[in-house]
Structure 1
């Protein structure tokens, strides 16, 4: 059988085995993704596999460059790739996609045992990193702004005594109140 016939047979087998499986995704007739683990699992990862022209006589290209894998450290990715390459060498010359996917599922714990999630924090300001919320400024109307401007001097400061009580008026009112009593 030629490499193309082997690929077609394996492709047909993969489609029937993984039909309806949300972990398997056929990118093209020679490129596939398979998620190992549940979406919420911090130890889950996605395998990208692409068949070269001479597959299965030649090894498939295996990648962990999917965005989903950004939380996995480079050391852990390297370990996964080296272990998968050992499996590829053992199965070279035969249809191995199903074998690789199932092997990765069965060995997920050992592949990810030294995994410490890589955390990347994207923040727009230092306040959001500390958990503080920014206070919104009160929105003023044009007339409110005009009143403030009319009360302030050229530096934007209120004149001295702007909120003082009219002492004479106040004394007069208190004097009247005491006479009435």
Structure 2
């Protein structure tokens, strides 16, 4: 069999095995995402796997670059990828996606044993831009003030007949809804 035939067969198998499973997502016919663990679990992660043209004879590309994995430390990501690389080497030449996904599910605790939760990555541009959160919550929101030129642009948004676009005055819409669109006698 050619690599493409192997890929087609494995794709069909993955679709039938993971049909209805919200952990598995097929992005393209050669690219997949598989979530290990529950979305609310801090020790869960998302594997992104894509097949090169010569897969399964060559290793698939596995990444942990998804936004879901932002809470993982770089060391944890490296460890997970190194462990998965060992599994890929052991299964090279065969259809391995199901094996990799199930191995990762079974060994999640071992993969995440040194995991330290990354709460957030905040970059401060300067000390003057640091905002006290208690003072922000006490302040009332101000309405945006338009400049004269902005007001002129709003007035100038008429069509070629000199009429404003439909829905520009929501008061008319409210009046229509109260009257049902009928003229009062």
Normalising by the residue count of structure 1, what TM-score does the alignment of the two structures yield? Answer: 0.71
Change over 3 Å in CA distance of 1:92–1:126 after alignment to 2: same
Question: Match of 2:15?
Answer: 15
Superposition deviation, residue 69 in structure 1: 0.3
CA separation of 1:119 and 1:93: change in aligned 2, threshold 3 A: same
Output the CA distance in 1 between the equivalents of 2:121 and 2:14.
Answer: 38
Aligned to 2:131: 126
Measured on the aligned residues, the alpha-carbon RMSD in Å equals 2.2
For residue 127 of structure 1, report the CA deviation from its aligned partner.
Answer: 1.9
Whether 1:136 aligns to 2:144 is no
Unaligned residue ranges in structure 2 (runs of 5+):
144-185
Query: TM-score w.r.t. structure 2 length?
Result: 0.69
Alpha-carbon shift at residue 136 of structure 1 (Å): 2.7
How many residues in Structure 1 have an aligned counterpart in Structure 2?
138
Taking the aligned partners of 2:53 and 2:97, their CA distance within structure 1 comes to 15
Residue 163 of structure 1 corresponds to none
Runs of 4+ aligned structure 1 residues displaced above 6 Å come to: none
SS of structure 2 residue aligned to 1:126: coil
Counterparts of 2:42 and 2:3, CA distance in 1: 37
User: 1:131 Cα shift?
Assistant: 8.7
Q: Unaligned stretches of 5+ in structure 1?
A: 140-181
CA deviations on 1:100-138 (whole Å, 9 max, x unpaired) are 00000000001001111111166985322x697323389
Distance 1:121 1:75, change over 3 A: closer
Write the distance in 2 (CA, Å) between the matches of 1:136 and 1:5. Answer: 63
